[in-house]
Amino acid sequence: MMQMTMDELTVGQRGAIKAIHAPKQLKRRLMDMGFTKGVDIEVVKLAPMGDPIEVSVRGYHLCLRRAEARKIELS
Amino acid sequence: MHTIALIGNPNSGKTTLFNALTGTSAYVGNWPGVTVEKKEGMLNSHKILDLPGIYSLSPYSPEEQLSRRYILDEQPDLIIDVIDATNLERSLYLVTQLAELGCPLLLVLNMADLLEKEGITIDTKRLSQMTGSPVVIVSASKGTGINALKETIEQSLEEKYVALCPLFSNFVERYISHIIEDDYLHAIPQGRQMRWAAIKLIEEDELFLSSMPPLPDAFNTYLTKSRAELADHYDDDPEAIIIDQRYKVAEHIAKDCQIRKQKVKSFNFDSIATNRIAAIPLFILIMGAVFYLSIGLVGGYTTPILENLFGYLGGQVLTLSDTLGVHPLLSGILVDGIIAGVGAVLTFVPQLFILFLLLSILEDCGYMARIAFIMDRMMRTLGLSGKSIIPLVIGTGCSVPAIMSSRTIEHQKQRELTVIVTPFIPCGAKMPVFALMLTYFFPGQWYIAPLIYLLGIVAVIVTGLLAQAIDKHKETNAFILELPRYQLPTVKNVWLQTKERTLGFIIKAGTIILLSSVIIYLLSSYSFTLQTVDAERSMLAIMGRIIAPLFIPLGFGFWQASVALLTGIAAKETIVSTLSVTIGTTNLGSFFDPASALSFMTFILLSSPCIAAISAMFKELGSMRKLLYALLWQTGFAYVSALLVRYIVLLLI
Amino acid sequence: MTTILANVVVAALIIFLVAYAIKTLVKQSKEDSCSSCSTKKGNACKGCQYADHCNKTIH
């Protein structure tokens, strides 16, 4: 079965990070910002055209594009 | 003398603290990445450095690399890690990296004033025990705790506390202790800790490895084996494992030292500011209001008053010097050169003051990052990033800081494209030129001024689309941006920035504008044989006529316009002062017609910016060739657009 | 007499304004470049190798 990725969450939904499938640089960036295994995230808002998305992680807010969110696998 | 470095996550308030410690007024704002260059100041005879913010010591964009290089190569005597106290966990992640450098560390919990509001309490004593570093709690913007911090700084410099390195899981620690035992680690830079080097070897940090002698074969095999075993155990790559371990330590410390009460959800400005439907109209409305208030309301009121004032002053001085028998050359320089030229520019101080004030409020409150968020999708179709909108908004004040702020864009192509299009947005200095032409040729036709801004935006869009079309290697790239908390702009910050920018404008009037007015007056009064002649046969006219034919198709092929454009390279306001010295602001109608006035404005709007912005462009583009292409594109685009505007207007009228 | 005096005063005013403008510009360009840094050994402005121009002179 295909795993759920972060871009599939709708506003207000939560999830825990399972793995990041991204090139080295991007993966490190995402992890540096706090997206590590097991961390809870919540999709807070979508930008006017549904992209990028605003996510709450480790008590702060950041935004990222759907393309990046798709690389983050949730459990 | 000791060196102290201020480091910390972006937007944690390093520059505000820097200003509070050194009594300076460096540029601050509320979005991640305001500081793109390091700044130096003095504190009790210690050198103190403000560095661009970083989330970790493995950075991405150029300004972040600056911080890493500084921290690693320069070995400051003390590192002050500025922590946004409301964002402890993520800040502690950076602490776990800094602690390993073997340099005394001091933790500053900033934004103390917000803790209570956010329902957070932090046990600073416990935090100090767990990190092995002194902890001071301050509010840099309110100025509380600064004295205690200064004392702790002195104390730290003397005692040189050694920070506690974060301890990872036993499984990881076993490999670290094995690696440390190898002889190879004696080759690490002086002052560095073995542990730090061992971790870098596990991570396979390229920058670190390139600074070290080549790995002996046996040791390399051992490392490769260790990495494979780690990867196998954790089902991840070694670099990710270390990041994960660090965050575990950060979580652990944060949990032990911090109590977070569940926040009561109150009304949030974001529910409108980034609302899916209202966000973009609101952004347009806000920018419209900024210009209406500054240019329309204040400018409309003050400009005529100041114009009359300087006109009256010039007239009085002239009559006085005539009755006293002052030589016409001297009175000419003073009245037709200095008073006319500088006065024409100073007329715009009040409206620029309001513009700068409103822009710094926008920058201070946290809205900028939201604009990047809501506009990213649109900017992406132009080959730009959401972050490119920040330079474009700042560019309405001045292109120089705007071009510099493009440095936070990680992706090189997007950054360079942003640098090239930023000058298309009319800056505060171009405003006087438009205001002069518009009030003369189109009095009461309010809709033309917004059209000029629109034209600038169209130029950005066309350039972006064209760059997209010719770009063969389309790469997808990341857009990850922290959205800071909204805050009430502090009076101090807003005032400092507004004052700085307005003063900059006034100083330009007193220096560049004054000098060029005098030179233009002299050149337009003398022939090459140094005889007093009328302007038509002056040196200036002869020089201007060399390039004037170029502008005949655009409708302003007379030498006064050419000279004005040339002097505009020094500073765009100079165009106004030059026109008022050579033509006179009341005489524009005998040279321009409405169509050529509009094409003149179009050319000024889009052609290459002033010398200060050109050198900022050069700095960000990093190559003369790219700069030349950029300037050529801007000026060529300006020429064609001006031509089009002129003929469209001629057709319509 | 008044004529000469008036001429001298106006000329002096212009010279003062121009000299002051040049002085300010020179000072500004120095502050913007690294020429404000000492090049003596061990005393050089470290900023230059990190920043494109040092901001040493922020007051």
Q: How sure is the predictor about B212, in pLDDT bands with cuts at 50, 70 and 90?
A: confident
pTM above 0.90, yes or no: no
Q: Which residues of chain C neighbour B333 with C-beta distances below 8 Å?
A: 14
Interface C:A, ≥3 CB–CB pairs < 8 Å: no
Residue B399 located in a structural domain: yes
User: How far apart are alpha carbons C19 and B177 in whole angstroms?
Assistant: 68
Question: Is the Cα dihedral A70, A52, B425, C26 positive or negative?
Answer: negative
Chain C residues within 8 A of B69 when measuring between CB atoms: 50
**Average pLDDT, integer, range B492-498:** 85
State how far residue A14 is from chain B, nearest Cα, in angstroms: 17
pLDDT for res B269: 76
Amino acid making up residue B613: A
At residue B365, the pLDDT reads 86
Rounded to the nearest angstrom, the minimum Cα separation between B22 and chain C is 9
- The minimum CA-CA distance between B465 and chain A, rounded to whole Å, is 19
**Domain-embedded: residue C13:** yes
Residue B165, pLDDT score: 87
Could you tell me if residue C57 is inside a domain?
no
Weakest mean pLDDT among B232-236, B251-255, B280-284, C40-44: C40-44
Confidence of residue B391 (pLDDT cuts 50, 70, 90): very high
Which chains border B (3 or more CB–CB pairs < 8 Å)?
A, C
Q: Is A36 helix (H, G, I), strand (E, B) or coil?
A: coil
Q: Please give the single-letter amino acid code of residue B501.
A: R
pLDDT confidence band for C49 (50 / 70 / 90): very low
Beta carbons within 10 angstroms of residue B113's beta carbon: 15
Rounded percentage of chain B residues whose pLDDT exceeds 70: 96
Q: Let me know whether B390 and B515 are in one domain.
A: yes
Give the total number of structural domains in chain C.
1
Average pLDDT estimate for B274-296 = 88
- Would you call A21 an interface residue with chain B, using a CB distance cutoff of 8 Å? no
Residue C38 belongs to some domain of the structure: yes
Neighbours of C, requiring at least 3 CB pairs below 8 Å, are: B
Question: Does residue C29 sit at the B interface (CB-CB below 8 Å)?
Answer: no
Distance CA B284, CA B271 (A): 17
CB distance A63–B373 less than 8 Å? yes
Please tell me whether residues B617 and B552 are part of one structural domain.
Answer: yes
Q: Domains, chain A, ranges and CATH? A: 4-74 (2.30.30.90)
On whether residue C41 sits in a domain, the answer given is yes
Say whether residue C13 is in contact with chain B using an 8 A CB cutoff.
Answer: yes
Whether C3 and B324 lie within 8 Å, measured CB to CB:
yes
Q: Kindly report the nearest CA distance between residue B242 and chain A, in angstroms.
A: 10
Residue-level pLDDT at C57? 34
- Which of B160-164, B268-272, B548-552 has the lowest average pLDDT? B268-272
B80 and B119 housed in the same domain: yes
Q: Show the 3-state SS of B490-523.
A: CHHHHHHHHHHHHHHHHHHHHHHHHHHHHHHHHH
Looking at residue B557, its pLDDT comes to 93
Number of domains chain B is built from: 3
Number of H helices, E strands in chain A: 2, 6
The answer to whether A30 and A72 have CB atoms below 8 angstroms apart is: yes
Give the nearest chain C residue to B63 (CA atoms): C51
- What is the pLDDT, as a whole number, of residue C30? 65
Domain extent at residue B365: 279-652
Nearest C-alpha neighbor of A45 from the set B326, B388, B483, B504: B483
User: Quick one: pLDDT at residue B210?
Assistant: 83
**C2–B324 CB contact, under 8 Å:** yes
- Do residues B51 and B140 both lie within one domain? yes
Asked if residue C43 has pLDDT above 50, the reply is no
C46 at interface of B, judged by CB pairs closer than 8 A: yes
How close does chain B come to C1, measured CA to CA in Å? Answer: 10
How far apart (Å, rounded) are the C-alpha atoms in residues B67 and B7? 8
Task: Assess if residue C8 is contained within a domain.
Answer: yes
Residue B165 lies in a domain: no
Nearest-CB residue to A65 (from B274, B378, B479):
B479
Task: Please indicate, yes or no, whether residues B148 and B202 belong to a single structural domain of this protein.
Answer: no
Hey, of A10, A36, A55, which one would you mutate to test binding to chain B, going by the most B CBs within 10 A of its CB?
A36
Say yes or no to pLDDT of B11 above 80.
yes
* Domain assignment of residue B274, yes or no: no
Q: What is the mean pLDDT of residues B47-68?
A: 81
Please indicate, yes or no, whether residues B548 and B491 belong to a single structural domain of this protein.
yes
Chain B environment of C56 (Cβ under 8 Å) = 40
The answer on B179 and B134 residing in a single domain is: no
Measured at the CA of B371, the angle between CA B365 and CA B375, to 5 degrees, comes to: 175
**Residue C47, pLDDT score:** 37
- CA of A51 vs chain B CAs: smallest distance (Å): 6
Pair B126, B187 in one domain: no
More confident position, B45 or A44: A44
C36 with C26: CB under 8 angstroms?
no
Question: B64 pLDDT band (50/70/90 cuts)?
Answer: confident
Q: Say if the Cβ atoms of C10 and B331 lie within 8 Å.
A: yes
Of A25, A26, A60, the CB nearest to B87: A60
Contact B395, B419 (CB under 8 A): no
The reply to whether B626 falls in a domain is yes
Q: Using one digit for the tens of pLDDT, what is the confidence trace for B99-154?
A: 988 888 999 999 888 888 888 889 999 999 999 999 999 988 888 899 999 999 99
Q: Which of B345-354, B583-592, C31-40 has the lowest mean pLDDT?
A: C31-40
Query: In a 10 Å sphere around its CB, with 0-12 CB exposed, 13-18 middle and 19+ buried, how is residue B643 labelled?
Result: middle
- Residue at B584 is within a domain: yes
Nearest by CB to B376, from A19, A33, A52: name it. A52
What CATH code is carried by the domain that includes residue B178? 1.10.287.1770
Distance CA B49, CA B108 (A): 15
User: Quick check: is C20 in a domain?
Assistant: yes
Is the Cβ of C22 closer than 8 Å to some Cβ of chain B?
Answer: yes
Could you tell me if B521 and B590 lie in one domain? yes
Assess: ipTM above 0.85.
yes
pLDDT band at B616 (very low <50, low <70, confident <90, very high): confident
Facing residue for B40 by CB, picked from C14, C47, C52: C47
Instruction: Classify residue C58: in a domain, yes or no.
Output: no
Confidence class for position B586, pLDDT limits 50, 70, 90 = confident
> Do the Cβ atoms of B338 and C51 come within 8 Å?
no
Whether residue B620 has pLDDT greater than 90: no
Cβ of B324 within 8 Å of Cβ of C11? The answer is no
| Structural domain includes residue B273 | no
Query: Residue B271 domain-assigned?
Result: no
Q: How far is B156 from chain A (nearest CA, A)?
A: 28
Same domain assignment for residues B572 and B480: yes
Give the model confidence (pLDDT) of B300-336 as tens digits: 889 889 989 999 999 999 999 999 888 888 999 999 8
What average pLDDT score do residues B535-550 get? 91
State the pLDDT confidence band at C42, using cuts at 50, 70 and 90. Answer: very low
The reported pLDDT for the residue numbered B303 is 84
Chain B: residue nearest C1 by CA? B324
Examine residue B602 and state whether it is found in any structural domain, yes or no: yes
- Mean of pLDDT values over B520-549: 89
Q: What is the DSSP letter of B335?
A: I
Does residue C29 lie in a domain region? yes
Beta strands in B352-492 (DSSP E): 480-483
Q: How far is Cα B310 from Cα B347, in angstroms, rounded to an integer?
A: 8
pLDDT of amino acid B593: 93
In the predicted structure, residue B230 carries a pLDDT above the cut 50: yes
pLDDT at B248: 94
pLDDT band at B189; cut points 50, 70, 90 = confident
pLDDT at residue number C36: 43
Q: Which domain holds residue C10?
A: 2-50
Same domain, residue pair B317 and B411:
yes
Last residue of one domain, picked from the residues B95, B129, B159: B159
Nearest CA in chain C to B43: C59
* Span A31-59, pLDDT tens digits: 999 999 999 999 998 988 888 999 999 98
Q: What is the CATH number of the domain that holds B23?
A: 3.40.50.300
